[in-house]
Amino acid sequence: MGLTSRARDEKAHRLASDAVTWFDREAALCEFQDARLGERFRMLLKQIGGDIGQSIPMVCQDWANTKAAYRFFSNERASEADILSGHFKSTRERIAAAKGPVLVLHDTTEFTYQRERPDLVGMIKRIPKSNSRRLDGKPQTYTTCGILMHSSLAVTLEGLPLGLSAVKFWTRKKFRGVAALRREVNLTRIPIETKESIRWLENLKQSTELFEEPSQCIHIGDREADIYELFCAAQEVGTHFLVRTCVNRLAGDGDHTVATIMDEVVVKGLHRIEVQDSKGNPDQAVLEIRYRKIRILPPIGKQSRYPALTLTVIHADERGAPKNRKKIEWKLLTDLPVQSRGDAIEKLEWYSLRWKIEVFHKILKSGCRAEDSQLRTAQRLTNLISVFCIVSWRIFWMTMLNRSAPNASPEFVLTKAEIQLLDRLVKDKNPASTQRKTLSHYLIKIARLGGYLARANDPPPGNLIMWRGLSRFIDIATGATL
C-alpha cells in the first residue's frame, strides 16, 4: 500500500514545520511499500537516535513498541534498501549544495555474532579462544557468524561527512569456493561478476548516480580497491578514483612493469607531515615525492575485454628509518591530473581522509553497539544496522561540523525549540558577551552535556563525547515535550 494523498500532505507539513527534526528529514524521502512501515521506521529512528547504544527493549520502553520494532525488522517488505533510500536522497541534496570536489570513501567492515543457529546469519568461522588450550596444546575455538558490509561515505575536502552514498550487505555463501581456486587458477582470470570484489563496482556506480556532475566525485579506496575493472567502470560513468595500489601491473608496451618504471623516476620534491608514533607521541616525517603518468595494461587474461589506461602513479616514501612506528610508504594510482609537486601533495592529503570511514565504522560498533544485538537472522540484523548507519552518520556529521563550519547558523542543525532548550540547560560561560551565537556555540553546549569541559586549550569534542551529549539532550528534550 503506497502513500495516500493525506499521508503525503502530512509528510509535507512535517517537513515544512519549524519543529522539523533530523529524523524527519532523513525518513521523509523513504518510500516503503506500506505507509505504516514508513511511519514505524521514523519512530524507530527517533527512538534509537535518542538513546544511542541501548537495546531495542530499552529504547522502545514498553512491550507494544518493542514487539512492533521486532516485527518491522523481520518484515519481508522492509529491506535495508528501503530503510536507507531516504538517507541516500538526503545525501544527494547535501552533495548538490557542496562546493568543489566531493570524496567518496569506500571500505568493508565485518560484524560478528555468537548464535545457537549461526546458519541463520550466514558467514561462519571459528575463532581461537584467548588463554585457552586443548589437551593436545592446540588453542580452543568457538564458532561465530557474521555479516559483511561495504559502505561508501561522501565527505567534503575538509572531511565533513555528507552522508552515505551506497551500502551493500552480504555473507560469503554466494562466493564460497572462490578462495580455494587460488591453488589452481590465477584469480585475475576469473570474471569480476563471480567475486566479492564486484561490490566495489556496484557501490561506485550507485554513488556516482547521486552526483549531478559525475566529474565532481572522486572515489577513494585502500589496497583492496586496486581492481582494474574498477578503473574501467569509473571511466565509463565519467567519475574519478584515487586508490592505494599493491599490484605491480604490466606497463607501456608490456615489456616493463609499473615498479621498474617508477624506479627510474627522480624525486620531484619533499613534503613534511606531522605524525604520531606507536605510543601516541608527536613526530615528523619527510616524504620523498615521485609521480609519473604511465600507460597501464589490464591483466593478461582480460586484455581482450578491457582497454589499456593511462594513469598517474604517485609514490611517497619516507626518508630514513623512524623509531617506534612503521615507515610511511604510499603508492597511489589515479586518473586525476598530476602536473606538479603541489598536485601530488594534494592527492596525498585527499587519500589521508580515507581513515574517516574507519571512524564511521567505529561509531557503528562502539557507539551504536551494532555487534551487541541479539536479533537472530541476517535480514533482521541488516535492517537494524541500516538504522544504525543513519544514526552513526548523524553523530559523525555533528562532530565534524563543529570543526569545518563553526560559524554557521545554529538553525542549520537545530530547531528553534532545541536552541531555546539548550540556552536553558547549559548556561553561557560569558553571559555578557554580545557575539553572535554560532553553530559551534550550541554544539559545544551539547558536548558539555556529554562531559566536555570546554576549557580554553581543550581540543574540539570527539565522537564519543558528542553521542553522549546527544543522548542526554534528546532524553531531556523528550521529557520537556511530555
Query: Tens digit of pLDDT for each residue in 33-79?
Result: 888 999 999 999 988 887 888 899 998 888 999 999 999 999 999 99
CA distance 218 to 100: 11
CA distance 100 to 216: 7
pLDDT of residue 250: 94
Provide CB contacts within 8 A for 56, sequence distance 6+: 66, 69, 70, 373, 384
Q: Tell me which residue has cell 534498501.
A: 81
- Type of residue numbered 327: K
Distances, alpha carbon 67 to alpha carbons 43, 70, 72, 387, in Å:
13, 5, 9, 17
Q: Which of 418, 378, 403 is nearest to 459 (CA)?
A: 403
Q: Tens digits of per-residue pLDDT, 377-420?
A: 889 999 999 999 999 999 999 899 888 888 888 888 888 888 99
- More reliable by pLDDT, 154 or 325: 154
Q: Is the pLDDT of residue 16 over 70?
A: no
Q: Is the pLDDT of residue 174 over 60?
A: no
* Cell numbers that stand for 473 in this block: 539532550
Q: How confident is the model at residue 130 (pLDDT cuts 50, 70, 90)?
A: low
Provide CB contacts within 8 A for 212, sequence distance 6+: 96
Q: What is the mean pLDDT of the chain?
A: 86
pLDDT of residue 268: 95
Q: Is the pLDDT of residue 20 over 60?
A: no
Torsions phi, psi for 124 (to 5 deg): -120, 135
pLDDT of residue 141: 63
Q: How confident is the model at residue 131 (pLDDT cuts 50, 70, 90)?
A: low
Q: Tens digits of per-residue pLDDT, 254-290?
A: 899 999 999 999 999 999 998 888 888 888 899 999 9
Largest alpha-carbon pair distance within the chain? 76
Q: How is residue 340 annotated by DSSP? A: S
pLDDT of residue 469: 87
CA distance 400 to 396: 6
Mean pLDDT of all residues in 97-111: 93
Provide CB contacts within 8 A for 181, sequence distance 6+: 187, 190
Q: Find the Cα–Cα–Cα–Cα dihedral 73, 74, 77, 81, rounded to 10°.
A: 50
CA distance 65 to 59: 9
* Cell numbers that stand for 277 in this block: 608514533
pLDDT of residue 404: 84
Q: Tens digits of per-residue pLDDT, 421-459?
A: 999 999 887 776 667 889 899 999 999 998 898 888 888
- More reliable by pLDDT, 105 or 130: 105
pLDDT of residue 136: 65
* Residues paired with 243 in a beta bridge: 221, 333
Alpha-helical regions (H) of 214-352: 228-237, 258-263, 341-352
Map out the domains of the chain with their CATH numbers.
Answer: 223-340 (3.90.350.10), 405-481 (1.10.740.10)
pLDDT of residue 134: 62
Q: Which of 194, 201, 149 is nearest to 170 (CA)?
A: 149
CA distance 89 to 92: 5
CB 41 within 8 A of CB 77: no
SS3 content of the chain, % helix, strand, coil (to 5): 45, 20, 35
Which value, in Å, is the radius of gyration of the alpha carbons in the chain? 25
Q: Is the pLDDT of residue 1 over 50?
A: no
82 by DSSP, 3-state: which?
helix
pLDDT of residue 125: 67
* Cell numbers that stand for 152 in this block: 561508501
What are the start-end ranges of the E strands in 253-386? 256-257, 269-276, 282-296, 309-318, 329-334
CB 400 within 8 A of CB 160: yes
